[in-house]
Amino acid sequence: MATNQEARQAAIRAVTSTTGTHNEDWLALFTARSAPAGEYNERLLSYINTKLSTSYTNINDAMQALAANQSADNFSSMGTFTP
């Protein structure tokens, strides 16, 4: 059985066709979704804001919003999701 992190990575890989590390797969998703260049958390924040049509400035609030959007209690408990 996959962990939630592994399930998120599998969902990303299904979209990006990548087989890198956890971070490499996320970075490929950010690029595929046109998140601007920057540090990992900056790109994650941009990706979430674009996906949810929001304008969060706090990464933790954005991650919580993404989890809620995907019917999870929080980001850590979010497994498979729709990237």
Q: Which residue has the higher pLDDT, 72 or 2?
A: 72
- Structural domain spans, the chain: 4-77
Q: Is the whole model's pTM more than 0.85, yes or no?
A: yes
The answer to whether residues 82 and 7 touch, using CB atoms and an 8 Å cutoff, is no
- In this prediction, residue 1 has a pLDDT band, given cuts at 50, 70 and 90, of low
**Distance (Å, rounded) from C-alpha 27 to C-alpha 32?**
9
Q: What is the model's pLDDT at position 29?
A: 97
Q: Which whole number is the average pLDDT over 52-72?
A: 98
Report pLDDT for 2: 85
> Mean pLDDT score of the chain, rounded to an integer?
96
Cα–Cα distance measured from residue 11 to residue 49, given in angstroms and rounded to the nearest whole number: 19
Q: What is the pLDDT of residue 83?
A: 95
